[in-house]
Amino acid sequence: MSEVVKDKKHEDVTIDRHYQMLDTDRATEIIQKAMDLAREEIPNGHVATYIPELSKVDPHQLGICLYPLKGDKICLGDYDVRFTMQSVSKVLMLIVALEICGLKNVFRKVGAEPSGEAFDSLVELDVNDSRPYNPLINSGALAVCGLLLPEVSFQDMLRYAREICSDPEITLNQTVFDSEMKTCSRNRSIAYLLESKGVITTDVEDTLRFYTKMCSLDITAESLANLGKKLANDGVCMLTGKRFMSSQTARIVKTLMLTCGMYDGSGTFAIKVGIPTKSGVGGGLLSVSDKRAGIGVFGPALDTQGNSIAGCKLLREISNVLRLNLFYDPEWNREDHDDTVLTHMMDNSVGI
């Protein structure tokens, strides 16, 4: 590090190449400051209302858990509040599908390209290739569910979720599940369209129920950080040494999170934050700072793309100050790193 041009704005509180958080107390202070700043974004967002039960959630909540590969967890705000996993569960379903059904079978059903469309879009599904763009949007996840259904039960998935999230308290939120099942005509349309094209070959209503149950798992920001930490460590639990997925699966999942995890905001998010992240309309964000940390965020007020508005801001701040951007170069000088320019340039995209 002696050759590195040190910029004063960014003190040495990052997580080093040996996975060690250099100064937990200082990092906690910094994350707390970032939370205060991110909170200001909350009035610019709205909780999801298309699932009636989600409209009852308090939009002012914000919590984070950052879990370095080595070092103490940093938990702040509403990090232990339960909320539904929603689209973050697409990561779990993809992991299990890759592990059980294999790479070829998964990508025979679904592509690996960003869609540039809203998460619940049907546009493009009926033209050209019948495969959904990627497994991290609704159509792609429904296709993945069609693959999983003959192989695993919801109970199997619940068990896996509890283990990989190191959270035995994860349960199905029956109220949110019932609420979504009553209002899921878009997902139902997508699923029947996929059946008509031969992408879904299982019973459509069963597939839809399986998908919606996975979205209705009650988790916390802390459970997401635990999951993120295993992904950051190549699919292996640091504490027990247990492998939860192959290296290949971990790599594919992280890559897709970077390119497709934030729906039609994925490109801008990658530029501004540079940490593979998957969002859900429950307000959850699962972030993986590779070889460094798992991060879970909860902030239910969403931007227009359905991503946590304060959560994205929080991640952006943390990425900058803790130098977690995937492409961070210690040789950057301050001018290169002054992202007010970036904010002006990209003002019309994701609200972060």
Q: Give the catalytic positions in this structure.
A: 87, 90, 211, 263, 281
Residue 284's H or E segment, with its range, is strand 284-289
Q: Does residue 215 belong to the site contacting ligand GLN (CB under 6 A)?
A: yes
Radius of gyration for the alpha carbons in the chain, expressed in angstroms and rounded: 19
Q: Does residue 86 belong to the site contacting ligand GLN (CB under 6 A)?
A: yes
Q: Does residue 53 belong to the site contacting ligand GLN (CB under 6 A)?
A: no
Residue 162: name the closest of 208, 218, 124, 202 by CA. Answer: 218
If phi > 0 it is left, if psi is from -120 to 50 it is alpha, else beta; for residue 102 that is left
Cβ distance to ligand GLN smaller for residue 235 or 300: 300
Q: Does residue 67 belong to the site contacting ligand GLN (CB under 6 A)?
A: no
Cβ distance to ligand GLN smaller for residue 213 or 254: 213
What is the Cα–Cα distance from 270 to 60, expressed in whole angstroms? 25
Cβ distance to ligand GLN smaller for residue 87 or 320: 87
Instruction: Please identify which residue in 187, 268, 287, 308 interacts with ligand GLN, judged by CB under 6 A.
Output: 187
- Contacts with ligand GLN in 268-307 (CB under 6 A)? 280-281, 306
Amino acid at 280: G
Residue 237: name the closest of 294, 275, 192 by CA. Answer: 294
In contact, 134 and 260? CB cutoff 8 Å: yes
Cβ distance to ligand GLN smaller for residue 63 or 284: 284
Instruction: Please identify which residue in 167, 180, 264, 303 interacts with ligand GLN, judged by CB under 6 A.
Output: 180
Could you give the strand order of the β-sheet that contains 284-289, starting from the edge strand earlier in sequence? 74-77, 63-68, 293-298, 284-289, 277-279
Q: Does residue 120 belong to the site contacting ligand GLN (CB under 6 A)?
A: yes
Q: Does residue 320 belong to the site contacting ligand GLN (CB under 6 A)?
A: no
Residues of this chain that bind ligand GLN (CB under 6 A): 86-87, 119-120, 138, 180, 187, 215, 280-281, 306
